[in-house]
Structure 1
Amino acid sequence: MEVVYNPYDPAVNDDPYPVYARLRREAPLYHNAEHGFWALSRHADVSAALGDSALLSSDHGPVLDPAAWGPQARTYLSFVAMDPPDHTRMRAIVSRAFTPRRVAALEPMIRQIARGYIEEGVERGTFDFARDFAAKLPLDVISELVGVPPSDRADVRRRSDILVRYDPQGKMADTGLKSILSLGDYYASIVADRRATPRDDLVSALVADGGLSPEEIVAFLFLLIGAGSETTTHLLSAAWYWAWRHPGQRAAAFGGAITPWVEESLRYDTPAHGIARRLTGAAEWHGVRVPADAKVLILIGSANRDESVFPDPDAYDLGRDTSRSISFGVGRHYCLGGPLARLEARVALEELTKAVSPSYEIDPDGVRRTTHGNVRGMVRLPTTVAPA
């Protein structure tokens, strides 16, 4: 039977890796006529495709779903949905504000926020790790960086969720459109406030730089607060879940192997497991010609399980070499927030191992995964913990 890959199939969403393995073996260039895309699954092809922004354009955004695909993607995904020269200009300006020094300075604040949520979880004994910890921590960190007050954060999370949901039919409810518009108005009010009264936060730095229009700053905030916090959310949940599933690796993690825990979780269950691109001209892969303007899905999640690069790739192994993992992309679109995501994950997992016994439990029947076409992660992760 020929391999069939449909990212909207619930069974594939639950566990895409057997299908990815067949794609790499049998159909390294795969065509899904129903949903109108081609897919690359081997590490070599994925790395090359991510690095070739001239052939594979970002100008329709990275999201496969029809509602999000198109030139309008830059409105809420900022420079992630741009090519040079716009991408070069915007990324350079944002990078000046989003400096390594500014990111490193967040560590004490990240640690304080993490401790607060962990203490709440330990006190309760049973809590939802995904909802009550992994989703809240990154949003709080980004909110502190940007300057969103604590009183507004729950509402910002609720309204930004629409950006990371999908509808394979390409339809979006009126409530979803209203949510996005209201969120845009809220971000615009933050920009206007910082223009009038600068503070020591990222938005004030972007306003002071003067290189971005208010509309461009708002688009960047959509990216940063919405999609930007989601990667860390799913990374934390993956690390917690897969360590639970593999007691030997959990012992290593709780024994101090925090950085390997982060890196192997990124490889093993990559949060951004598919990135879409528009083909600027006809191209050929594996003897098959793909026409210009085709939608190409670059399967990072498959590349990170490629047996030609990672021995025994389906083993969760904190001792492996993850240096060729491409979880945050390649080339000019390498994730600007990657260092922050790694910092948040390291600090959060350090604090968890200090406060929580390694004998924690997860209710597997209560685990629920996101149904986003490009992103893989858990939205429900019921956990029972005891103090360390």
Structure 2
Amino acid sequence: MGGVDVVYNPYDPAVNDEPYPVYARLRARAPLYHNPELGFWALSRYADVSAALTDSSLLSSDHGPMLDPGAWGPHARTFLSFVAMDPPEHTRMRAAISRGFTPRRVAALEPMIRQIARGHIERAVERRTFDFAREIAARLPLDVISELVGVPPSERAHVRGNFGAALTYDPEGRMAEDGLRSIIGLGDYYRSIIAERRKAPRDDLVSVLVADDELTDEDIVAFLFLLIGAGAETTTHLLSAAWYWAWRNPGQRAAAFGGAIEEWMEESLRYDTPAHGIARRLTRDTDWYGVRVPKDSRVWLLIGSANRDETVFPAPDVYDLGRDTARAISFGSGRHYCLGGPLARLEGRIALEELTRAVTPGYDLDPTGIRRTAHGNVRGMVSLPTTVTPV
């Protein structure tokens, strides 16, 4: 079912800028969509996506979650840790790593996160005009992760630079050469931290991980890549989406600044989902909508579309802080539910609280300077020129 009058190319800049009308057409006319040129099948309805996310026996994670051709394959676990594994390996790795993300440990991070958030916000607000995406939304989660890992403040700009280069793709969705070099550089840097912690443990996440005899150095490096990619980038785009869509919707902005912080965050996660899609490998021939999809096909699960499904969320294209978002699957579902989801929500809540205390609701954005990411699994904004009035 390609969809006679539906064309979906996730690498088309126009689709990346405004995918939701395309997703609506997919749900209505081609709920199973095949793009033979790019070699994937896409599921777009909430019922199909949510069911697929929980069925690891049918849809394997062993080739990783990335649609991009350079990242798809059995080598994916090298950089993506347990998200590119199935049980029992996934179960073992996730259990070991989750010891560093217990509810108690995450809750204890609040003072540190608030201090970092307040520092970035105060420096930006002092100038009144700044780039929200680059100076607040991108820096906060990366600095929090650097604090967790034990990266000293003097080296965090270097880590941010390598991370930014690693997220650069060419028009066909392949990682750029600079990105590959940056990944190698980050890997070497993280190995040096791991070696230091094995000699002299500290009170940081890497020390927790090296204390687990089941985790090798390569296991830990892969997890740190996952943490900085999945953990930092999604939180960055959550914050930018909240800031942007509140600006576009003054009535909802008033509710947000009036105290509806949790609602602001959750509706932003649903409405402009950072993790737009997840790829899976089909383990056996399967029929969807009367079409036989062959074993080993790459299946693209459109979370961003599922969160706008009108059968689950009434008036899904309305940004409404008063809606029920309980069924949103912004952080996935099942065994691969995002381990860092509670940390992302904590960072989001703290940053939005600090913002509403620092500036008046009447902030403004320069639409001519707004820029979005190129296609990847994650979609969001990389530039949001902002002017504020301090409280």
SS at match of 1:209: coil
Matched, 1:5 2:8: yes
1:87 to 82, 90, 107: 90
Shift of 1:28: 0.3
Shift of 1:165: 3.4
Q: Deviations over 1:16-47 (max 9, x none)?
A: 00000000000000001111000000000000
2:375 to 372, 379, 385: 372
Contact 1:163 1:226 in 2 (8 A): no
Q: Deviations over 1:49-99 (max 9, x none)?
A: 001011101111111011111111111111011111111110000011221
1: CA distance, partners of 2:100 / 2:214: 11
1:151 to 149, 154, 158: 154
Shift of 1:122: 1.3
Contact 1:161 1:226 in 2 (8 A): no
Shift of 1:162: 4.0
Q: TM-score, normalised by structure 1?
A: 0.98
What letter matches 1:191 in structure 2?
I
Residue matched to 2:275: 272
What letter matches 2:168 in structure 1?
R
Matched, 1:127 2:130: yes
Contact 2:241 2:268 in 1 (8 A): yes
Q: Which moved further from structure 2: 171-180 or 75-84?
A: 171-180
Shift of 1:157: 1.6
Shift of 1:153: 1.1
Matched, 1:212 2:218: no
Matched, 1:317 2:311: no
Matched, 1:184 2:177: no
Q: Which moved further from structure 2: 374-383 or 224-233?
A: 224-233
SS at match of 1:284: strand
1: CA distance, partners of 2:329 / 2:166: 24
1: CA distance, partners of 2:141 / 2:87: 29
What letter matches 1:212 in structure 2?
L
Residue matched to 2:196: 193
Mark the CA change 1:51 to 1:153 in structure 2 (over 3 Å): closer, same or farther. Answer: same
1: CA distance, partners of 2:295 / 2:166: 28
2: CA distance, partners of 1:226 / 1:108: 23
Residue matched to 1:107: 110
Contact 1:39 1:298 in 2 (8 A): yes
Residue matched to 2:81: 78
Residue matched to 1:29: 32
1: CA distance, partners of 2:113 / 2:200: 25
Counting matched residue pairs gives: 388
Residue matched to 1:288: 291
For the aligned residue pairs, the C-alpha RMSD in angstroms reads: 1.1
2: CA distance, partners of 1:94 / 1:163: 23
Matched, 1:355 2:355: no
2: CA distance, partners of 1:224 / 1:40: 27
Identity of aligned residues (%): 78
Matched, 1:229 2:232: yes
1: CA distance, partners of 2:49 / 2:389: 42
Q: Which runs of 4+ in 1 moved over 6 A?
A: none
Contact 1:43 1:303 in 2 (8 A): yes
Q: Deviations over 1:294-341 (max 9, x none)?
A: 000000000000000000000000000000000000100000000000
SS at match of 1:39: strand
SS at match of 2:284: coil
2: CA distance, partners of 1:163 / 1:223: 12
1:65 to 50, 68, 71: 68
Shift of 1:182: 1.3
What letter matches 1:113 in structure 2?
I
2:56 to 44, 49, 53: 53
Q: Structure 2 stretches of 5 or more lacking a match?
A: none
Q: Deviations over 1:181-227 (max 9, x none)?
A: 11111000000000000000010011112220011001101111233
SS at match of 2:211: helix
SS at match of 1:314: coil
SS at match of 1:114: helix
